[in-house]
Amino acid sequence: MKKVLKFFATSKYADVVGVALVVTVAIMSGYLSTNLANYVNWGPWTKFVPLGIISVVNVGLSMMSTRLTGRLSNIGNVLGIINTVLSGAIDYILGNKAAIITYPVTFLIYTFAIKRWQESEKGKANKPLTGNKALVGIGLITIGTFIFSFSTNYIGYGGDTNPLFWVTSIVFGLSLTANILNALKLTVQWQFWLFYNIVQMVKAFIQGNFANVGKYIFYVINSIAALFVWQDTDKE
């Protein structure tokens, strides 16, 4: 099973399936035909900006960022920055104020990740933290990211602690922790990505969004597969 999952993590065919899956889900959500004029009144030129197509391309970039990171390619972090910029712009246009606050931080983390990976050994994860150092280090990162997540979302939601606030805060806290661990090029990030994707999958199931359930099943499998790939480089 481990051998199969490692093949999945590095397979270009799986890349195509993953991109096709997320693009299909985005199209099914009705994004493709929208343009900028559907959301803002900035002038007649906005009807020529295909916001839907940009959004669909962006989800494809997100998938490839994850896939390439999973096989320790720094290009994944570069695509992550592009995805962050586009996602921030799209959320701003859609008026998602709670999410907008988080993007500058994610952008800085990806910028640091690119530099950190360039300075590290190519194709290998950094030496994992062990013992008390691991518990304290990862614990502090996790606590810090969740405090930041809940604080920024509290501001973004205007103090309204509705169920969506809690879900959004937990999801962003998990992704922010994983992104920082990725910037440090540590294998343990994939446990956090796994948990993040499971939470997103359950959320989609509860909402009855079965297209997104399928998408996150792929991401869950990819997290496990990438974990095996990274763990093997730890031992080399």
- Res. 236 pLDDT band, cuts 50 70 90: low
What percent of the chain lies above the pLDDT cut of 70?
98
Number of domains in the chain: 1
Question: Residue 168: what pLDDT?
Answer: 86
Q: How many CB atoms lie within 10 A of CB 120?
A: 16
Structure tokens at 43: 């002038």
Report how far apart, in Å, the C-alpha atoms of 178 and of each of 85, 145, 173 are: 19, 10, 9
Does the pLDDT of residue 143 top 90, yes or no? yes
Average pLDDT, the chain: 90
Helix H segments across 40-188? Answer: 51-70, 75-94, 97-100, 103-119, 131-156, 163-183
Among all chains, which residue has been given the structure tokens 């996790």?
Answer: 142
DSSP state of 37: G
Please name the amino acid found at residue 197.
N
- Whether the CB-CB separation of 221 and 2 falls below 8 Å is answered with no
The whole-number average pLDDT for the span 33-37 is 88
Q: In 3D, which of 39, 74, 81, 33 has the Cα closest to residue 58?
A: 81
- Whether the CB-CB separation of 21 and 214 falls below 8 Å is answered with yes
- Whether the CB-CB separation of 154 and 165 falls below 8 Å is answered with yes
Range of the structural domain that residue 41 is part of: 2-235
Q: What is the pLDDT of residues 179-228, one digit of tens each?
A: 999 999 999 999 999 999 999 999 888 878 878 899 999 999 999 999 99
Angle at 6 between CA 142 and CA 24, to 5 degrees: 80
- Rounded Cα gap, residues 154 and 96, in angstroms: 13
CA 217 to chain centre: 14
Does the pLDDT of residue 93 top 90, yes or no? no
Question: Residue 156: what pLDDT?
Answer: 81
